[in-house]
A = this chain, B = another copy of it.
Amino acid sequence: MTAEIICVGTELLLGDIVNTNAQFLSRELAELGVSVLHQHVIGDNPARLRELVAQARARSELLVFSGGLGPTEDDLTKETVAAAFGDTLHFDAEEWAKITAFFARTGRQPTPNNRKQAMVPTRGHKIPNAHGTAPGAWFEDDAGRCAVLMPGVPREMKAMWTEQIRPALQRRQNCTIHSHTLRVLGGESSIASKVAPLFASANPTAAIYCKTGESEIRVTARAATAQQAEADCKAYLQKFRDILGDAAYDVDVPALEYTVVRVLRERGLHAATAESCTGGMVAERLTNVPGASEVFDYGFVTYSEAAKQKLLGVDAALIARWNVVSGPVAAAMAFGAAQASGAELAVGITGIAGPGGALPGKPVGTVYLAGADARTGAGWLQRLALGGYHDREVIRTRAAMYALDLLRRMALGLPVPDATAITRQTPPEPMDL
């Protein structure tokens, strides 16, 4: 099946908002095995819309619209598409009752224009909107070509798509689809080179999306039954996990901190943070997870030498000898945070986020990350070189990712790549990697 996406809205043409609807719909259609030939953005102009619908109908079997269902007189999308598909609109008392009830709840009166929103297709059918006032519309011509009209508000559009239109398209294509998203630490190029052949499959499909310090791999399987799609999807996901090992940290979670909080909770562990260059980012991410209070009590943002001494007990002589950006100081911060908080696990981070502050042998992006396990007195030390990104925000974000992953690995007893094992008593010399 071929499709075109048509987004109607002056605010898109003026650049007031970014068109996330087009991305969402493109990705969803690709997963359904539908080829998207064009995306269009157009204003509330009936003549241009009529021209575009005629061209798109001549090329593609499915036209997917978002926007243009508003109550103002300018919004003529539904009328224009109805005419192009040889359909008419009629007043729907049930939709009108919903609209008036909505206005009553918010203490307002509907205007005559709002009645436009209660007009629904005669040959086609309406699509109820569970999250807003404007129903969607489905038009179909004798040749089986369809147009689907949805609201432009992303929340309403996504709900209508997911709950109603996507299942209908699956039934038409006589298949079900199932997706999972694997989250993997590391950059897209390093991951893609290991699993490149797996992206060539037509079903299940796999796509990689690059994020700062990690990537998402989305696997989608199509099959005749839901059970088969789910089984195919899981089996294909396992192929990625077999190759990527413990860098693939979780499935269908919003972010690494969700995995860290879950793992800590499952193991009955607590974590503390001692942050210099990340300035509280690790604590902020951990506490963004609902229920983080079960596993996190103390976060120390020690941005000066005095703060490191006072809150974490870092020895002034250690700082004087090794510099505040050094392995020994990171280790002392981590063990000091564990001590001061009573947490079983702690991380200490000190580094140079830039743009200034580079030291001899320690360019911008040099970050020392230490993990302490108060139960054993053992830990890990890493020297990270994140300066290639030339961006304070990216350096901090990547350092925080490494710190969260270190907590995960310590909690699970996994090895830590490119790290040196340390103990609370390790003499400082070998620690300044």
Interface residues of A (CB under 8 A from B): 12-20, 22-30, 36-43, 45, 48, 52, 55, 59, 207, 209, 273, 275, 277-284, 286-288, 290-293, 296-304, 306-307, 311, 341, 354-356, 392-393, 396
Contacts and interface: CB of A to CB of B under 8 A. Distances in A.
B288 A301 contact: no
A244 B291 CA distance: 39
8 contacts: A15-B26, A39-B39, A273-B301, A279-B284, A280-B284, A290-B355, A293-B304, A299-B301
A134 to B, nearest CB: 20
Contacts of A25: 15
A297 B355 CA distance: 19
A296 B290 contact: no
Given A22-B19, A36-B13, A284 B284 contact: yes
Given A38-B48, A287-B279, A15 B19 contact: no
A39 B36 contact: no
Contact of A286 (B13, B279, B354): B279
A44 to B, nearest CB: 12
Nearest to A29: B15
B26 A13 contact: yes
Given A298-B301, A301-B280, A396-B288, A24 B19 contact: no
Contacts of A304: 293, 297-298
A37 B48 contact: yes
Judged by DSSP, the binding face of A is: mixed
Given A48-B37, A302-B298, A303-B299, A284 B281 contact: yes
A39 B18 contact: no
Nearest to A293: B303
Nearest to A305: B297
Q: Which of A26, A36, A40, A306 has the most CB of B within 10 A?
A: A26
Q: Which of A16, A278, A341 has the most CB of B within 10 A?
A: A16
Contact of A30 (B15, B26, B288): B15
Contacts of A13: 26, 36-39
A397 to B, nearest CB: 10
B38 A22 contact: no
Contact of A280 (B15, B59, B281): B281
A403 B18 CA distance: 29
A193 to B, nearest CB: 16
Contacts of A29: 15
B297 A300 contact: no
